[in-house]
Structure 1
């Protein structure tokens, strides 16, 4: 062994892991490149930890519960529930206190598929009761595995000749622990790779709008993990503050680095067992009680993974953040509803729970995207960190209670009682002042209006209105022939048709439909002449042959009667655009249809008289020429505007005080199609096949994600994030 390796071996493993993580983060942040082999090593380390975690959970629960004395189970269960509820109350109190840090910022975002998604029904029975335990084990269904193991443990607890069975299972459990310890020897290397990869691949733009949540969550977790929960345990048990953190640090560092509480369960169990055994050997007493207390980590820690405790509760903080971010009003009764309806949802994964939690405050489903981003970037790591200290605190308190070793330290209690509330309130208020002091500028509009083409920018001419002096000899020529002869395709576009057609900050005509037509023109080998038209002009200009086609319009009965429409190239759900504070009024279709006091505006391109007559017979419905009127003072008596969710989302970027709400239950989406020249079958067939081709090669999907959803372009045609440009003519 070299001198360097001997020196390294003297450094505690937890410190080596911490140093490796810091070095990895530093190198990753500086290089922004994942080194060769790092990704593979990081994945291998996580998979090795996962390999032992699930068998350990099952064996620990079976051995731990099976070795308990049946006469003591009821009393132990009562103690556990009391302590669990006490710790849960502390954590929830801090979470409900945290929103005082949220500043008064304006926000809005692009359209998201989660805006229109329906919340899957939460089935706690299927989640916890395994019809096939082997399937649950093979597929990592942890709540089902936990429940199965608990029942096996209870069954084994009542077997009189269980000693030999427990001995075998305990031997297997120790073997799993040995394997886990072997894996942890490579933890510095694994954690270095994970940290380097995370720092190198983080996208700073994803943090936009999430700073408040991430920083607040960080402060909250820091307070609970390093101050509040250890202080509570140190105040009423023989364990010192230092002992608690030292026994937890290896698990906390690994959990934070990997973002997983699950894979450090074996570490937590073994470390807390060591602490409890030190406590139980200090005095003579009932050996059976000591054995039961020592078994508590094997039972409580795996079970806590499936309970709505620890880091899972940060989902409630995100719900409060999302309500603030979207401008929803949150009252004290909403807090109660959040706890009563939200906590049971957290028996499953937070990813499944969040859509339902957002529904509680009628928060846009699109904010679920922000949750996923935050979880992947850093908050998932905070969650794992909090789960570690919560489970450690829970186990130590339960074991201390069973051993009757509670020792209330009045001096420590008086200090903590004075300092902790003050520190916590000061921390959150300081955050609020810090956020308010930040020169925050709403960027939704600028991100939208600065957009430009990503796939193709062809030569185009833009006319503010139709020209009267056109070559009339071309009007009766078939469209494809006419386009080829004149050298350009003439397309009518509608005003105020965001995000399908609009002028960007440079005055250039852009948008989802415009770039699709760019691709069409390029395939036809011609340029484009865009003509700004009103909706009521389209029919005559198409039938006369002046226009070859228009940009997209909804496929409604009215539009189908008026125009020849292509096959749909896209679709959007119907949604209401309303003031933030009126969100709850438009959450349900049935309640909307039944109200006689509502005045609903529908832009003319979406208006269909028979649909209005069929569904809105009790409402007052106004057909308006442009969505822009809805935001003017003279139209303030209109309660809501009904049109496509994608279009509505774009208008919120310009008017962030408004929000998009898709009422429940979800209704079929409205197709979008191009209106084309009447009675030209050849052109219709051409466009039918062309649209099908564009869908097949994902061109339309790529443009949808960029123009509608606001995502960064990631196509192979756009590796450098620059458009393929041709000569452009602007008039």
Structure 2
């Protein structure tokens, strides 16, 4: 019987792990612990191996050879990343036209933390760098030690024991590698059992294009580069490295199999009789040196940036591509979870889209490292071929490669464009998502009145508001009909929103039904003081002026002030550009005192009151009036950009001004104390946070459910349905 090869065992482990995860779902999620143990064992010897390998091989290297190796490596690295830049420019053409505004993100008021390049690359405390697995700093430390050892007269006294120790590390790694089929099985079962297909479906545009980019580079571009410049066959390369690449895919980490990757490259050199001692030493030096530098796997992940711009309603302009590519080059020196927010911030793309990227990493992290590993293999083969004098340029292979790459890439880009155009018809925009949200609180019997008017249930002598609500079983709630996302009519003409949700919760706690009363624009103070309503739930800013005119509750929500402007207007993007304007006019709705405070930073700015918000967006005003921006909260502004996708949210101030939302109340100390206590209670029990997460941040509230599994969703459902049928027949 033919012996099963190691790579086939790894594939079998991966296959059965996926099947088990799909079949049993979260019931087998505990297997991820076994996977973590396997990854930990692999990592155990990797960093010491890299450190000692660099010290030994650099210590034995001559200065001329080292300079030649590094120079060649940098030339080929620039070439590979240059090809990556071309694809980062071309691939976004696969995104079809599709508009969608953005939900509010708390990133709007958070400062972007700068990269700590010093901590990442400078080993001020090498032991801290080693213990925290800071690979770039550990590599730099090893390089300097190796350079110091290079000049010692009796360096072999040190290098020989280190070389022996390194051989021991390699032997330990080979022992653990034998467990790969079992480790891969555990990792695959754990990951698949926790996959959320619903979340990943919204990312199909990004996932599809990134997967295509990885396939193009791994199976077309890089193999052709190896064929054009080196004596090595791509077929041989894949044959030798396939089990390592599968392990990398399963673990989601290159570094855990770095020693094995180095051994694979030496095996590739051996296939063409290029495995002399000098070439082997160069591999031992080059691979650890190349690790801290960008690779194509990480580089191409930044196609998420144009995806995020497209997803939020506006494709990345061609004029922004130099900034995009430049920031990508810098950001790719660090992990994507660190570099991406920086690039998104530079291009003024809503950073809440980063949450989508985090969701995608369950898949992309595994694909990314496979391309990253093949990038390192290609870089090593090109560099070693150059230093060993076997680098050749094959013109026929080059012409063939150019034709194949251009044709395949063009067909795939246009094909993906057509596919996404069709698929995106079934993906809702954020406006459609907001419109589809249902109330989280238990819905109370209610009536939405057509007009405002006095409460027909007059208070008895000495009766307070709370007592009247208890007596009549009726709560009168004021609202503005067009105050998305606090109070608005959805696509089904139902009154919904954060404020409406709170009103239903309040009525439930009072055991009352609700009359929703539309408040007349500009007459809130008069109507609440004349007993039209008990409480106003649309977004009302706190202010000293309002506190004098009517009773206010304690704040129930903090918000940030912002402006809504046209997307193509970049004059309000920064404080400096806004302050440089000769004059501009900011519209506001009812809150003149807040508007004056907002524009006080700009002496040349004017303000204009709106009676109807539609006047701003429809520009239905006299020709003499030109409105440049509308001031409101950033939370509400974000919702407005979903309705009016040609607008965006900006904060031109030198810092963020925050305000608080309050409930205007009927004049009554007992009622005010009750509402304040109710706000405290519903804040502490998480109600306010749940409503905020859905209506403001766009995270639909869904009671936690187990992930889909074949066992639960197919077998058990069919068995239970049959069991119910038998029971009913017996009855």
TM-score normalised by length of structure 1: 0.89
- Does 2:421 align with 1:433? no
- Does 2:50 align with 1:50? no
| Matched-pair contact (CA < 8 Å) for 1:327–1:581 | no
Query: How big is the shift at 1:384?
Result: 0.9
Matching residue of 2:645 = 656
2:500 to 504, 511, 514: 514
Matching residue of 2:694 = 706
Matching residue of 2:158 = 165
Secondary structure of the residue aligned to 1:621 is strand
| Matched-pair contact (CA < 8 Å) for 1:247–1:271 | yes
Matching residue of 2:280 = 294
Matching residue of 1:581 = 568
- Does 2:555 align with 1:568? yes
Query: How big is the shift at 1:533?
Result: 0.9
Matching residue of 1:602 = 588
Matching residue of 2:722 = none
Q: Which runs of 4+ in 1 moved over 6 A?
A: none
Secondary structure of the residue aligned to 2:56 is helix
User: Mean alpha-carbon deviation: is it higher for 387-396 or for 324-333?
Assistant: 324-333
Matching residue of 1:389 = 374
- Does 2:89 align with 1:103? no
Matching residue of 2:724 = none
Query: How big is the shift at 1:252?
Result: 2.0
- Does 2:167 align with 1:179? no
Query: How big is the shift at 1:400?
Result: 1.4
| Matched-pair contact (CA < 8 Å) for 1:574–1:645 | yes
Change (3 A) 1:72 1:685: same
Matching residue of 1:337 = 323
Query: How big is the shift at 1:74?
Result: 2.0
State the alpha-carbon separation in 1 of the partners of residues 637 and 259 from structure 2: 50
Map 1:403-442; keep pairs closer than 5 Å: 403-438=388-423, 440-441=425-426
Matching residue of 1:540 = 526
Map 1:143-222; keep pairs closer than 5 Å: 143-222=136-215
Q: Render the CA deviation track for 1:576-617: whole Å, top value 9, x for unaligned.
A: 3233333x3332133224323533322335862531552343
- Does 2:262 align with 1:269? yes
- Does 2:249 align with 1:256? yes
Change (3 A) 1:548 1:17: same
Secondary structure of the residue aligned to 2:340 is helix
Matching residue of 2:32 = 39
Matching residue of 1:89 = 82
| Matched-pair contact (CA < 8 Å) for 1:496–1:626 | no
State the alpha-carbon separation in 1 of the partners of residues 242 and 660 from structure 2: 55
| Matched-pair contact (CA < 8 Å) for 1:130–1:148 | yes
Secondary structure of the residue aligned to 1:577 is strand
User: Mean alpha-carbon deviation: is it higher for 381-390 or for 265-274?
Assistant: 265-274
Change (3 A) 1:433 1:27: same
Change (3 A) 1:475 1:625: farther
User: Mean alpha-carbon deviation: is it higher for 161-170 or for 233-242?
Assistant: 161-170
2:631 to 642, 654, 675: 642
State the alpha-carbon separation in 2 of the partners of residues 595 and 255 from structure 1: 55
Change (3 A) 1:565 1:426: same
Secondary structure of the residue aligned to 1:601 is strand
Map 1:293-692; keep pairs closer than 5 Å: 293-328=279-314, 330-376=316-362, 378-438=363-423, 440-441=425-426, 443-444=428-429, 445-468=431-454, 470-474=456-460, 477-551=463-537, 552-582=539-569, 584-604=570-590, 608-612=594-598, 614-634=600-620, 637-663=626-652, 665-678=654-667, 680-692=668-680
User: Mean alpha-carbon deviation: is it higher for 332-341 or for 244-253?
Assistant: 332-341
Secondary structure of the residue aligned to 1:298 is helix
User: Mean alpha-carbon deviation: is it higher for 542-551 or for 23-32?
Assistant: 23-32
State the alpha-carbon separation in 2 of the partners of residues 442 and 606 from structure 1: 40
Query: How big is the shift at 1:705?
Result: 1.0
| Matched-pair contact (CA < 8 Å) for 2:595–2:607 | no
Change (3 A) 1:602 1:401: same
State the alpha-carbon separation in 1 of the partners of residues 99 and 562 from structure 2: 21
Secondary structure of the residue aligned to 2:571 is helix
Query: How big is the shift at 1:240?
Result: 0.8
State the alpha-carbon separation in 1 of the partners of residues 460 and 448 from structure 2: 20
Secondary structure of the residue aligned to 1:404 is coil
Q: Render the CA deviation track for 1:31-62: whole Å, top value 9, x for unaligned.
A: 54442632322222233333333333333333
Query: How big is the shift at 1:219?
Result: 1.0
State the alpha-carbon separation in 2 of the partners of residues 427 and 77 from structure 1: 36
| Matched-pair contact (CA < 8 Å) for 2:599–2:606 | no
Map 1:116-131; keep pairs closer than 5 Å: 116-131=109-124
State the alpha-carbon separation in 2 of the partners of residues 310 and 277 from structure 1: 26
Query: How big is the shift at 1:228?
Result: 0.9
State the alpha-carbon separation in 1 of the partners of residues 613 and 361 from structure 2: 36
Matching residue of 1:112 = 105
State the alpha-carbon separation in 2 of the partners of residues 117 and 223 from structure 1: 38
Map 1:221-232; keep pairs closer than 5 Å: 221-232=214-225
Matching residue of 1:241 = 234
Change (3 A) 1:71 1:304: closer
Q: Render the CA deviation track for 1:110-135: whole Å, top value 9, x for unaligned.
A: 22223444321223223211322222
User: Mean alpha-carbon deviation: is it higher for 468-477 or for 68-77?
Assistant: 468-477
Structure 2 gap segments, 5+ residues each = 708-731
Change (3 A) 1:263 1:714: farther
Secondary structure of the residue aligned to 1:709 is coil
Matching residue of 2:125 = 132
Q: Render the CA deviation track for 1:361-399: whole Å, top value 9, x for unaligned.
A: 2222222222222223x2222211110111111111111
| Matched-pair contact (CA < 8 Å) for 1:277–1:294 | no
Query: How big is the shift at 1:294?
Result: 1.3
Secondary structure of the residue aligned to 1:615 is coil
State the alpha-carbon separation in 2 of the partners of residues 628 and 20 from structure 1: 60
